[in-house]
Amino acid sequence: MQPDTTADALPRGNRLGHLIAQNIGLILAGAILLIAIVGFIVIYGIEQQRLPGNFELTSTVNSAVPLVFAAVGQCFVVLTKGIDLSVGGVVDLANAMAAVTMGKSLASALGWSVVILLVGAACGLVNGLLVALGRLQPIVVTLGTLSIYQGLAIRVLPEPGGMIPPAFTNFLVNPNAPYALIFIVVLALAWSAFRRSRAGVDLYAIGNDEAAARALGVNILRTKIIAYMLDGTLAAAAGLFLAASATAGDATTGNSYTLSSIVAVVLGGVSLFGGRGSAIGAIAGALITTLIVNILFFGHVNPLFQSFYEGVFLLIAVVVGGVIGGTIRRRPK
Amino acid sequence: MPAVPAVAAIAAQSVSKSFGGVKALVGASIAISPGSVHALVGENGAGKSTLIKILGGRITPDAGGVTIEGEPAHSGIAASRRYGIGTVFQELTLLPFMTVAENLLLGREPRGRFGLIDRAAMPEVAERELAALGITHIDPRALTADIALAERQIIEIARVILAKPRILLLDEPTSALVEREVAWLFGQIRALRDGGTAIVFTSHRWGEIAAVADRITIFRNGTDVGCFDTIGEDEAITLMTGRQLEALFPVRTPAPDNPPVLTLRGVAGEGIAPLDLALSPGEILGIGGLAGHGHRSLFFGLFGAPGFSQGEIKQNGRTLRIRSPRDAIRAGIALVPEDRKSEGLFLPLKIRDNLTLPILARLSQFGAIRRGAERALVDDTIAQLAIRTPSPAQPVGVLSGGNQQKVLLGRWLLTKARILLLYDVTRGVDVATKHEIYDLVAKLAREGYAILFYSSDAEELAHLCHRVLVMRRGAFVADLPGVGLTAEAIVSAAMRESAHAA
């Protein structure tokens, strides 16, 4: 027995319209990135009387990679409606371990890299267990583990030093050409595969409405632990890139990554309320953040005022983005 | 009506369940045959939703158990999925910032290359599946947050039906649907029944129950009070409401003949149609009807939380604008909600502080509180309202629910509010304290307070109010005079499809 249809077929919302409205955060992040790139080229051109070349591109990419990885890590946790303040601690720990263990050969450096990534995953596991199993607030848990991981990092490398094999530096952040872009592309591809997996869908479901997700049979515990472990692993990767750039270790340089990864995620259109946004946006956000620092540098802004302008810029971006996003979503269909 | 096989598809035997001392179910039993539609009917709070959650494995009963085809069943979401149980909950479980297609296909997404989810194919798959169910007007590419409430309810139902459940539990699936959509749902229900699915559904609309149910079980106070193949509406309502102690209620005073202090003309808001209403000093005006038919919007609208979107409010002939609770309080309007924990009291603070908080300015001199005056006022109020407490310094949180209500009411009386909005104030309150609250309400009316009184308990409305307006789908559908009024008349006015004044 085929029942009556509930209504006649109505005209559908236009496909492109849906695409724009549902990805407005990502689109805005792309637009800001474009503006930042143009802004950088203009400022650089005025200052140096020439266009930025290979060297500038390479150094910009290399300085952006650690933040790109930290921001994507942060993005996993933010999508579950959580937040990870321990990112900086894990970056420090990875950085310190790299400087102490790697020695001189590329082989040993790569071997230790795997160990360090596993340590990062373990840090994430601790966060994930406390949050998901202990039902504690992510902000409190990761504030606590931030101090713990920082403490461990200082313990591993009490004073700046140690060494990173030059071959490892050339492999991760080659100073001659922007090869590091490859890592960013691989990260983006890995994300889009994750997005199309069971865990990826569950991650979004939890961020949308945890109670509903549970009622629908989503495994909350497993999914959250996966999110925090991926986050920890990527933060450790950020630490490795940072160590490779500096060619030595420092157990405190990673601290700033906690806040800048959150800034990058927000600029990338990922909602801190969970369930909305993507790691592609987080990557764009990390690139924007790096470019702003470069623009301020070439604009001869006093380094002491740098964070002042970063803050102003973040607020402008968030307010303007919110207004534009709100207008598009409210637009009559 | 198909023949009843010996073994029920799913059954509950004498299940009981309490939530924090409130008994939701007390030894309730039900058995549902395969290939039949079984309706659960009863007043709000009779335990229907709790029973559905127990059958669906979402909560574990304190006593008693569930059997599936005669075998004891395990509880839990995974187990219920294994048994082929599909549940449509009263609260929707759609994920707001995911598309209709993503919601519909959650957990069984189409896979493409490398075993990854084929996101691009999802809208087409969803569109096809919806079309097979006869749904062509909902865009699978839209976010669920952006589609209408009725459409969301249909998607929720479609998601469960598409899983081809052997046992289908529907908790008020029609609450947001219009007639045509209800007809669609019933078509789906009948098709599933003919395929052998056992179906349980709850509804407050008698016409729907009569149209689709093979068997009807009636619930009252957390237990089943009768199971019928056919039963008339009047008999069902008598069973649902039962009889209560007449002595519980104070003697009714005659309705006052004062000009109205508050008149509403054409006010409308979320879920309420334009309403007209006049409330006089000394009057207890009851608002009745089944939950979710606009009472809450009416009461909270009058208190400015949030205010009405249109219409006119007049107080003693003067136009009044109420856009926030501040406006309402200034006009002498007070709201006592059913959920005093989240909407009014500071549980860790003392009774005294809770009572005098809004009037501290009046009690202070040069910025310092006059403790003597405060104490006298607080002692007075505690005595007047018969708040049972050893001392005014007790934290409000340790009082019983009914006494907490009295504290909240006392606070408003101290602010010299003259219009009291009492919203289901006796919910979860024990019988003795209920009796005290009824006496208090009657006394306040005699003293000239104008009282708007909503209750989910029709018996209360019938015995306490001078007049009862029954709401259905946001409109007043009956205006019943209080003298000689029965709970049955109120419930029947609220449920009948073509309601008329008694």
What's A92-119 look like in SS3?
HHHHHHHHHHCCCCHHHHHHHHHHHHHH
Pairwise CB contact (< 8 Å): A215 & B136: no
- Residue in B96, B180, B190 closest to A209 by CB: B96
For the ranges B58-62, B211-215, B385-389, the lowest mean pLDDT is seen at B385-389
A199 vs A298, more confident: A199
Distance between A223 CA and the closest CA of chain B, angstroms: 14
Distance (Å, rounded) from C-alpha B326 to C-alpha B106?
45
Pairwise CB contact (< 8 Å): A7 & B136: yes
Pairwise CB contact (< 8 Å): A18 & B141: yes
Say what the pLDDT of residue B499 is.
41
Range 153-182 of B in CB contact (< 8 A) with A? 154, 180-181
Q: Which residues of B touch A2 (CB under 8 A)?
A: 134, 187
Provide the terminal-to-terminal Cα distance of chain A, rounded to the nearest Å. Answer: 34
Pairwise CB contact (< 8 Å): A212 & B58: no
> E-assigned strands of B210-283?
215-220, 223-228, 262-269, 272-279
How big is the CA angle at A73 (ends A67 and A79), to the nearest 5 degrees? Answer: 125
Which chain A residue lies closest to B139 (C-alpha atoms)? A12
In terms of Cα–Cα distance, which of B479, B445, B486 is closest to B463?
A: B486
How big is the CA angle at A197 (ends A193 and A198), to the nearest 5 degrees? Answer: 165
**CA distance to A143, B337, B349, B382, per residue, from B355 (Å):** 39, 16, 10, 10
- Confidence class for position B291, pLDDT limits 50, 70, 90: confident
Pairwise CB contact (< 8 Å): B180 & A8: no
Assess contact for B314 and B364: CB atoms under 8 A.
no
Place of tokens 């009184």: B453
Helix axes A87-101, A138-156, angle to 10 degrees: 20
**CA distance to A269, B242, B289, B403, per residue, from B481 (Å):** 58, 21, 15, 30
Pairwise CB contact (< 8 Å): B134 & A2: yes
Distance (Å, rounded) from C-alpha B472 to C-alpha B294?
7
The dihedral region occupied by B171, where left means phi > 0, alpha psi between -120 and 50, and beta the remainder, is: beta
Question: Is the pTM of the predicted complex or chain greater than 0.80?
Answer: no
Distance between B117 CA and the closest CA of chain A, angstroms: 5
Mutate: best of A2, A4, A6, partner B, most B CBs <10 A: A6
Distance (Å, rounded) from C-alpha B227 to C-alpha B243?
19
Mean pLDDT of B180-197: 92
> Could you give the ipTM of this predicted complex?
0.86
Does pLDDT of A253 surpass 70?
A: yes
Mean pLDDT of B471-498: 83
- Confidence class for position A232, pLDDT limits 50, 70, 90: very high
Pairwise CB contact (< 8 Å): A6 & B134: yes
Helix (H, G, I), strand (E, B) or coil at A158: coil
Distance (Å, rounded) from C-alpha B365 to C-alpha B257?
41
Say what the pLDDT of residue B497 is.
56
Q: Which residues of B touch A275 (CB under 8 A)?
A: 95, 97-98
Q: Residue A126 is encoded by which pair of tokens?
A: 């601790």
Pairwise CB contact (< 8 Å): A217 & B81: yes
Q: What is the DSSP string of B265-321?
A: EEEEETTEEEEEEEE-TT-EEEEE--TTSSHHHHHHHHTTTTPPSEEEEEETTEEE-
Assess contact for A133 and A127: CB atoms under 8 A.
no
Q: Which residues of A touch B156 (CB under 8 A)?
A: none
Pairwise CB contact (< 8 Å): A8 & B136: yes
Assess contact for B202 and B49: CB atoms under 8 A.
yes
Task: For residue B94, give the amino acid letter.
Answer: L
Mean pLDDT of B222-243: 79
- Residue in A22, A208, A217 closest to B96 by CB: A208
In this structure, the dihedral spanned by the alpha carbons of residues B270, B275, B280 and B281, taken in order and rounded to 10 degrees, is 0
Distance (Å, rounded) from C-alpha B293 to C-alpha A164?
70
CA atoms within 13 A on the CB side of B143: 19
Which chain B residue lies closest to A329 (C-alpha atoms)? B146
Q: What is the DSSP string of B359-393?
A: GHHHHEETTEE-HHHHHHHHHHHHHHHT---S-TT
B397 vs B320, more confident: B320
- Residue in B81, B102, B137 closest to A9 by CB: B137
- DSSP state at residue B166: S
B243-259 residues labelled b (16+ CB within 10 A) or e (exposed): eeeeeebbebeebbeee
Contacts of residue B299, defined as CB under 8 A and 6 or more positions apart, other chains included, come to B287, B335, B337, B421, B423, B452, B454
Q: Is B135 on the interface with A (CB under 8 A)?
A: yes
Does pLDDT of A122 surpass 50?
A: yes
Assess contact for A258 and A86: CB atoms under 8 A.
yes
Distance (Å, rounded) from C-alpha A171 to C-alpha A299?
31
Q: Which residues of B touch A216 (CB under 8 A)?
A: 93, 106-107
Q: Which residues of A touch B187 (CB under 8 A)?
A: 1-4
Does pLDDT of B203 surpass 90?
A: no
Say what the pLDDT of residue B24 is.
81
Q: Which residues of B touch A13 (CB under 8 A)?
A: 139, 141-142
For the ranges A7-11, A132-136, A202-206, B123-127, the lowest mean pLDDT is seen at A7-11
Pairwise CB contact (< 8 Å): A5 & B183: no
Say what the pLDDT of residue B21 is.
63
In terms of Cα–Cα distance, which of A254, A283, A256, A255 is closest to A270?
A: A283
* Annotated domain spans of chain A: 61-318
Beta-bridge partners for B200? B38, B169
% pLDDT > 90, chain B: 34
- Residue in A5, A15, A214 closest to B141 by CB: A15
Using one digit for the tens of pLDDT, what is the confidence trace for B233-288? 777 777 776 644 455 678 877 878 889 999 999 998 888 889 999 999 999 999 98
Pairwise CB contact (< 8 Å): B89 & A200: no
Helix (H, G, I), strand (E, B) or coil at B323: coil
Mean pLDDT, chain B, integer: 86
Q: Which residues of B touch A197 (CB under 8 A)?
A: 116-117
Beta-bridge partners for B318? B315
Q: Which residues of A touch B78 (CB under 8 A)?
A: 217
Which chain B residue lies closest to A273 (C-alpha atoms)? B97
Q: Residue B349 is encoded by which pair of tokens?
A: 């603070």
Residue B358 burial (CB < 10 Å; 0-12/13-18/19+)?
middle
In this structure, the dihedral spanned by the alpha carbons of residues B401, B44, B53 and B199, taken in order and rounded to 10 degrees, is 170
Q: Which residues of B touch A21 (CB under 8 A)?
A: 143
The dihedral region occupied by B210, where left means phi > 0, alpha psi between -120 and 50, and beta the remainder, is: alpha
Q: Which residues of B touch A209 (CB under 8 A)?
A: 93, 95-96
Assess contact for A146 and A261: CB atoms under 8 A.
no
Assess contact for A65 and A91: CB atoms under 8 A.
no
- Confidence class for position B122, pLDDT limits 50, 70, 90: very high
Pairwise CB contact (< 8 Å): B106 & A12: no
- Confidence class for position B342, pLDDT limits 50, 70, 90: low
Q: Is B184 on the interface with A (CB under 8 A)?
A: yes
Domains in chain B, ordered, with CATH?
10-244 (3.40.50.300), 245-332+417-502 (3.40.50.300), 342-416 (no CATH)
Say what the pLDDT of residue B83 is.
93
Distance (Å, rounded) from C-alpha B408 to C-alpha B414?
10
Distance between A276 CA and the closest CA of chain B, angstroms: 7
Task: For residue B19, give the amino acid letter.
Answer: F
Say what the pLDDT of residue B130 is.
94
Pairwise CB contact (< 8 Å): A2 & B89: no
Any idea how long chain B is? 502
Residue B221 burial (CB < 10 Å; 0-12/13-18/19+)?
middle
Distance between A16 CA and the closest CA of chain B, angstroms: 10
Mutate: best of B95, B111, B181, partner A, most A CBs <10 A: B95
Does pLDDT of A3 surpass 50?
A: no
Helix (H, G, I), strand (E, B) or coil at B248: helix
Distance between A121 CA and the closest CA of chain B, angstroms: 24
Beta-bridge partners for B223? B220
Q: How many CB pairs under 8 A join A and B?
A: 102
Which chain A residue lies closest to B137 (C-alpha atoms)? A9
Helices (H) and strands (E) in chain B, counts: 17, 22
Assess contact for B421 and B344: CB atoms under 8 A.
no
Sheet holding B450-454: strands in order across? B333-336, B419-423, B450-454, B284-288, B467-472, B475-481
Distance (Å, rounded) from C-alpha B43 to C-alpha B54?
19
Q: Which residues of A touch B180 (CB under 8 A)?
A: 4, 6-7
Distance (Å, rounded) from C-alpha A175 to C-alpha B291?
69
Tell me the CATH architecture of domain A61-318: Orthogonal Bundle (1.10)
Phi, psi of A161 (to 5 degrees): 155, -145
Assess contact for B37 and B3: CB atoms under 8 A.
no
Q: Which residues of B touch A211 (CB under 8 A)?
A: 93
Which chain A residue lies closest to B195 (C-alpha atoms)? A1
Pairwise CB contact (< 8 Å): B184 & A208: no
Q: Which residues of B touch A212 (CB under 8 A)?
A: 92-95
Which chain A residue lies closest to B80 (C-alpha atoms)? A217
Please state the separation of Cα A28 from the chain's center in Å.
17
- Residue in B93, B135, B136 closest to A212 by CB: B93
Contacts of residue B220, defined as CB under 8 A and 6 or more positions apart, other chains included, come to B42, B43, B46, B239, B240, B241, B242
Mean pLDDT, chain A, integer: 90
Beta-bridge partners for A180? none
- Residue in A1, A4, A209 closest to B95 by CB: A209
Beta-bridge partners for B140? none
